[in-house]
Chain A
Amino acid sequence: MAEMDINDAVVTTRLDAVVNWGRKNSLWPLPFGTACCAIEFMSMMASKYDMSRFGAEAMRFSPRQSDMMLVLGTVTNKMAPVLRTIYAQMAEPKWVISVGVCASSGGIYRTYATLQGVDRVIPVDVYVPGCPPRPESMIYGVMKLQEKISKESLSMRKEHIARFYESLARQEAIQAEQGRTGQQAVRDMLMAAAERGAGTIF
């Protein structure tokens, strides 16, 4: 794929490979920290498990300035529309790592108040299991995401992100027409999704 021209020290390769190489080695995380996994994230960022080796040291808490969202901790039904808003504000290309079992599937909280996995409301790329996952697991998750990015193609816009924006528009329509809060609109969409047998609302 990449060959070395000995005379001029010029590397020739494919555009996809170069762009993906740049993207995967400079992922700027947006830590969407809600609960305990955020504490293990803090450990991961500290000196012992150092995340900056992967180019992901620049934590940006603004969605406009980051490209990788780490959902760290339980996302409750009250938090779900907030998560969708933050994800919508990120610029593409963007990826999501769902860290911990609470974010991946609801975890040990099978209750009225907990969203049973963030992949019901936003598209997720990598799931990291654990309660909480060790910092090494989280780093492995980022490495898996890097592998995934290196195989991506530049030309195709991701279909699931397009579907997400459509579902966001539908959610806002429900809120405007029926005067519901974001949480109730997302719940109604989840009920409708369950009835037609789908697992997600986008």
Chain B
Amino acid sequence: MESIALTKQQLDGDHMIVNLGPSHPTTHGTLRIVLELEGETIVKATPEIGYLHRGVEKLGENLSYQQFIPLTDRLNYCSSIMHNVGYAGAVEKLLGIQIPKRAQQIRVLVSELARVADHIVCLGVNAVDIGAFTAFLYLFKQRETVYDLFEMAAGQRLHTSFTRIGGLFRDIPEGFVPLTERFLVDCEAAIDELERLLTHNPIWHDRTKGIGAITAEEAINWGYTGPCLRAAGVPQDLRKTQPYLGYEEYDFDIPVGTTGDVFDRYLVRVEEMRQSLRIIRQVLDRLEPGPVNVDDPKVALPSKEKVYTRMESLIHHFKLIMHGMEMPVGEVYSATEAANGELGFYIVSTGGKNPYRIRVRPPCLPIFSSFEAQVKGCLIADSVAVLGAMNIIAGELDR
């Protein structure tokens, strides 16, 4: 009688194709990865994106510069304010204006709050994907405090649209600074708790050490920026190398990793959260009184009292809303250090009310394009860990 056992040839025969997404349990948004597996080892991984391509760049060509601000919110929805700040900075560079000192400080303050919030989502969700649900619940409590702060400042929890061309929507209200100070203490404690849960946890080490390692030259060649690049050993952070909004005055460090694997990216993000809290403390100490909008009626809306009592202010208000700002002809590329990496805005203006071309340089597109190189030869469970550590936000990936 023939043996019913399969031969090794038959067992190791065809590859299995597994489709990961576009609707999938990991909360990184809609992306699709087609994995070709040999057993549990990944032989080929083909990512497919575009499932959240909403046509933002084309829509920008039909909207005025101020009207584009809510669209920038919805790019990276975990840290929307940083995109507002980046875009407003790009238009201000195009106009060639400088915003007042207080506006710069508040922009730094809310950017760092948003950076902490983004890293909370990234680390929480990365942990959930690997199976550690507690970290997510503990961290999200801090995110709720950040939401309260944003709601106090801008009126909205998530999509704040806080900046305007030439400054901010409005000054921060009374209770903002005390709540921020309380948040600094609570968040420091929460990060300590997170580290107690994960940093020396042998299961976490097994799941994340050595997975998705990348060298510094490879990372630069792939176009990595942000925490993933710093985890690979390159100390590139635009806040230090090309400072903007007064970052050169603050005292903070840039955490740099060695191997670029998932564990290093986790450590870099945790340390960045601590450094962000340090920057926030310094901003609170140095916050100066003053206006939050540039005093140019051709750029910033005049205050309501003036609009209701003076004729010129009414005319300026009308012209700004109906005809837009007077933009010079030219093009600029302005980059800021967003939570995921270098967020660039390339704006081409032909002098009209609407921009001729707005381009958003997404930080996570080059990172995700290297996914196949990162997971080839790993197990299927490792692909989820790598995906989590890359922090792919589909809103900015696809625009």
Which chain A residues have a beta carbon within 8 Å of chain B's beta carbons?
A: 32-36, 38-40, 42-43, 46-48, 61, 73-74, 76, 78-79, 82-83, 86, 108-114, 131-132, 134
Contacts and interface: CB of A to CB of B under 8 A. Distances in A.
Nearest to B80: A36
Interface string B69-81: 0110010011000
Contact of A46 (B25, B137, B157): B137
B22 A79 contact: yes
Contacts of A74: 52, 54
Nearest to A36: B77
A47 B159 contact: no
A132 B77 CA distance: 10
A109 B140 contact: no
B53 A42 contact: no
Contacts of B389: none
Interface string B9-52: 00000000000001111010110000000000000000000111
Nearest to A39: B77
A87 to B, nearest CB: 10
Contacts, number: 93
Interface residues of B, number: 34
B59 A109 contact: yes
B395 interface: yes
A38 B70 CA distance: 18
Which of A42, A112, A131: most chain B CB closer than 10 A? A42
B144 A46 contact: yes
B51 A78 contact: yes
A34 B52 CA distance: 7
Contacts of B70: 108
A111 B54 contact: yes
B29 A35 contact: yes
A47 B140 contact: yes
- Chain A interface secondary structure, helix, strand, loop or mixed? loop
Given A35-B395, A108-B70, A43 B52 contact: no
A87 B104 CA distance: 48
B224 interface: no
B58 to A, nearest CB: 6
Contacts of A110: 59
B244 to A, nearest CB: 26
A78 B31 CA distance: 11
Given A39-B158, A46-B144, A134-B157, 5 more contacts: A34-B51, A36-B77, A40-B157, A76-B50, A112-B58
A46 B52 CA distance: 25
B121 interface: yes
A73 B51 CA distance: 12
B394 interface: yes
B64 to A, nearest CB: 14
A79 to B, nearest CB: 5
Nearest to B50: A78
B78 A34 contact: no
Nearest to B76: A36
Interface string B365-399: 00000000000000000000000000000110000
29 contacts: A32-B23, A34-B30, A35-B30, A35-B77, A35-B395, A36-B77, A36-B159, A40-B157, A42-B121, A42-B140, A43-B143, A43-B144, A43-B147, A46-B141, A48-B141, A48-B144, A61-B23, A61-B25, A73-B52, A74-B52, A76-B54, A78-B51, A79-B52, A86-B23, A109-B54, A109-B55, A111-B55, A132-B157, A132-B158
